[in-house]
Amino acid sequence: MKRKGLLAISLVLVACLLLAGCSSAPKSSAPAAPAEKVLKLRLPSSLSSLNPQNTTATRDVKVWTQIYEGLYGIDESKNGYYMELAKDVKLSADKKEYTITLRDGVKFHNGEPLKASDVVFTYNRAKKDPRFGYLTAKINNVSAVNDSTVKITLSEAYAPIVHTFSSLKIMNEKEVTSLGDKFGTVPSKAGTGPYFPTEYAVATGVKLQAFEQYWGGAPKIKKVEYRVISDDATVQVAFRNKELDYLEDASLSNWDTLKAEAGPENNVMIKGNNIHFMAVNYQSPTNNSILANDKVRQAIFYAVNKDDINKAMAGGMGMPAITYMPNEYVPTSPVTGFETYKFNQAKAKELLKEAGFPNGVEVGTIISYPSPTSFNGRIAQVIQSNLADVGIKANVQIAENAIITPKMYSQNYDIAVFSDSNNFDFNNIRQQVHSESKGMYLVKYKDGKFDWQRIEKLVEQGAAASENSERLKHYTELWKIIMDTATINPLIHRPVAIVWAKGLNIGKPVPTYYKVKEFSWQK
């Protein structure tokens, strides 16, 4: 009898566990008709939201780019910004007032026509959000002239505002307000882009469906699925197995294998629009403020071998960097007329000797994030090794963003390895060198020993000028000053490797913001 009681209880408990566990019964999906073939793309980590104002992280923006559009768009294959939802832009004589006429016949996914009020709504929403502060800081006022015209007033002449016009994605006011707090957490129809979301789960990804009334014509591929595949080794297997149709930022370590598997027509390696750089904190108190010594910092710069970094981190396929942004993507980025600290061990040793450290010196710790096997983590280890070659001793600390980046932003470090990407205007350098910048101001020039007033002046002049040639002139002088301080050393532009499935046509490949609407299945 006792046995039976025990048995009964055990069975009930087992049943509970089973119910909890197996209710996620595996379901099989029927094979899709060829026309309905789903394009499978990878998400390296969970998509945080469907609200395009949830973050400025590139990984998420890439997905949102398929759903939402800005007044301007970015086309990396055609060298920059183009008018997307804007049809016509008029700039006032004082270069402060933009009168923008909207494209005709644009519809949101919910069927509403695009109106000026939606633009005003979007911009005002972004202005309240600190994450978009660096984009909206110069905007004084946004108002609707009529249903198809918006007037945007700036506090000063500011050519890089185009970057803001492309970064802020227009959302439908009615849809967003009616969803309230739920907006972003569930599929919604608030965008004007070629696709709209049908299913969304943070854990697994998002499914998109072609928007047949898209103003640019219905996209050729009708169904798209973004799937979270976090592991870099697994994703290669998934591509080989045809469980994935397009893989960007593919592994550089196994590029030869991947390339062979994809086939000669289905792979490309392009120069990435990114920068990995090191910052030296000249104000660090370490070892009696050793890094305040100009010669020691210069010695560090000369000791770093960017080719070694390239080999260890990009299989030799990257592009050693001399400036912050690749000129291919940023026409206003300087190319010559400044010191580049070409690798020179003899000179590094000589400088150390002159500084009074013929037998080497300790310079503290090189910090980086997010993991030892990440690109930045690997670079930090190469630099440590390079420095050791000339007798400069440094430790390495690599940890999670949450631990490392606050140290960087509060100048609580000696040497930092950092990266930045997707800059389409050299004005973005202001985040690094201008004291108004709140994040990413790794090296604090303000009130320091360098000519920081001149630095900030040049940043402002560069932004105010409207001619590219004039801007380039300011930025070249700016970059010369920065490089002379030996505080920020651009190291490498990481290449972007892309492979895609046979039978898929991707148009002209781009490093970051690919557009699924350009893709098609071959007949």
Partner 1 sequence: MSQATVQTPDKIVFKKQSQAKEVWRRYKKNKGAVIGLVLFSFILILLAGANFIVPYSAATKGVFSQINQPPSSEHLFGTDSYGRDVFARVLYGGRTSLMVALLATASSCLIGSTLGAIAGYFGGRVDGVIMRSLDIFMSIPDILFTMAVVFALGANFQNLLIALTLAYFTNYVRLVRSQVLNLAEQDYVEAAKAGGSGSTRIILTHILPNAMGVIIVNTTLNVAKIILYESTLSFLGLGMPPPAPAWGLMLAEAREFMRAAPHLMFFPAVAIVVSASSINLIGDGLRDALDPKLKS
Partner 2 sequence: MYRYVINRLLFLIPSVLGVIFILFLVMSMTPGDPARILLGDAASQAQVDELNRQLGYDLPFMEKYVRYVYKMVVEQDFGVSYFTKQSVFEEIWPRYKVTVSLAFIGIVLSSLIGIPFGIYTAVRQYSLWDTIPSLIAFFIAAIPSFVLGMLLLYAFSLQLNWLPSYGIESFSSFIMPALAVSIPPAAFNLRFTKSSMLESIRQDYVRTARAKGASEHTVIWKHALHNALLPVVTNVGMSLGNLICGAVVAEKLFSIPGIGSLIVDRITYKDEPVIIAGTILISVCFTVVMLLVDLIYAYIDPRIRAKYARVKG
Report the partner that residue 181 touches, choosing among partner 1, partner 2, none (CB closer than 5 to 8 A by kind). partner 2
Encoded one letter per residue, x for contact with partner 1 by CB under 8 A and - for no contact, window 271-310 reads ----------------------------------x-xx--
Residue 492 neighbours by CB under 8 Å, 6+ apart: 275, 276, 306, 309, 310, 313, 314, 318, 319, 320, 321, 379
Rounded Cα distance, 460 and 138, in Å: 12
> Toward partner 2, which CB reaches closer, 243 or 294?
243
By the rule CB under 8 A, 17 interacts with partner 1: no
Out of 184, 187, 315, 331, name the contact with partner 2 by CB under 8 A.
Answer: 184
By the rule CB under 8 A, 403 interacts with partner 1: yes
Report the partner that residue 439 touches, choosing among partner 2, partner 1, none (CB closer than 5 to 8 A by kind). partner 2
Q: Which of residues 131-160 bind partner 2 (CB under 8 A)?
A: 131, 133-134
Out of 38, 144, 228, 355, name the contact with partner 2 by CB under 8 A.
Answer: 228
By the rule CB under 8 A, 46 interacts with partner 1: no
Report the partner that residue 23 touches, choosing among partner 1, partner 2, none (CB closer than 5 to 8 A by kind). partner 2
Encoded one letter per residue, x for contact with partner 2 by CB under 8 A and - for no contact, window 352-391 reads ----------------------------------------
Report the partner that residue 58 touches, choosing among partner 2, partner 1, none (CB closer than 5 to 8 A by kind). none
Q: What residues does 393 pair with on adjacent strands?
A: 362
Question: Please, which contacts does 74-77 make with residues 24 or more away whose CB atoms are closer than 8 Å?
Answer: 74/166, 74/424, 74/513, 75/510, 76/273, 76/329, 76/510, 76/511, 76/512, 76/513, 77/508, 77/509, 77/510
- Centroid of chain to Cα 343: 28
Residue 215 neighbours by CB under 8 Å, 6+ apart: 103, 105, 106, 107, 192
- Centroid of chain to Cα 464: 25
User: In the complex, what is the shortest distance from the CB of residue 446 to partner 1, in angstroms, rounded to a whole number?
Assistant: 30
Total residues belonging to the chain: 523
| Secondary structure class of 379 (helix, strand, coil) | helix
Report the partner that residue 359 touches, choosing among partner 1, partner 2, none (CB closer than 5 to 8 A by kind). none
Query: How many chain residues touch partner 2 (CB under 8 A)?
Result: 63
> Toward partner 2, which CB reaches closer, 27 or 523?
27
168: which 2 tokens? 């802020």
User: In the complex, what is the shortest distance from the CB of residue 385 to partner 1, in angstroms, rounded to a whole number?
Assistant: 4
Whether residue 174 contacts residue 191, with contact meaning beta carbons closer than 8 Å, is answered with no
Whether residue 458 contacts residue 477, with contact meaning beta carbons closer than 8 Å, is answered with yes
By the rule CB under 8 A, 30 interacts with partner 2: no
Rounded Cα distance, 331 and 469, in Å: 9
- The sign one gets for the Cα dihedral 440, 444, 446, 449 is negative
Whether residue 201 contacts residue 136, with contact meaning beta carbons closer than 8 Å, is answered with no
Chain residues in the site for partner 2 (CB under 8 A):
2-3, 5-7, 9-10, 13-14, 16-18, 20-24, 26-29, 45-46, 48-49, 54-56, 130-131, 133-134, 181, 184-185, 201-204, 227-231, 233-235, 237-238, 240-241, 243, 400-403, 405-406, 409, 437-440
